[in-house]
Amino acid sequence: MNKMVINHLEKLFVTSDAATIIRELEVEHPAAKLMISASQMQEQEIGDGTNFVIIFSGALLEAAEDLLRMVWLCCPWCILLLRVNRGVSRNNRM
């Protein structure tokens, strides 16, 4: 399926190639930058598979989010830090 991409120079691309789409993205989030870097390395080394890298890394991040939430809620120190942090942020607002 073709996608229409307009970059910051207002140049129009119609492509179904993930590498072309990713190359034109302007990304600020560190995790997204790592995903793009991984897909570009895959493109350089193998010449294909950028879609797989993006989908696979997205699935890993999604699973990591669930694990982090589980650990965060089970760890007594994490709960204590959360309560202290909430107290600090409430005191800063006053």
Domain range list for the chain? 3-93
> What 8-state DSSP symbol labels residue 15?
E
Query: What is the reported pLDDT for 94?
Result: 44
Classify residue 54 as exposed, middle or buried by CB count within 10 Å of its CB (0-12, 13-18, 19+).
buried
Query: What CA–CA distance (Å, rounded) separates 29 from 16?
Result: 24
Query: What is the reported pLDDT for 90?
Result: 52
Fold entry, domain 3-93: GROEL; domain 1 (1.10.560)
The 10 Å Cβ neighbour count of residue 63 is 10
Query: What is the reported pLDDT for 56?
Result: 92
Q: What is the pLDDT of residues 23-78, one digit of tens each?
A: 778 888 888 888 889 988 998 898 888 889 989 998 998 888 887 777 766 667 77
Query: What is the reported pLDDT for 5?
Result: 77
Q: Which helix (H) or strand (E) holds 40?
A: helix 30-45
> What 8-state DSSP symbol labels residue 10?
-
| Mean pLDDT within 5-32 | 81
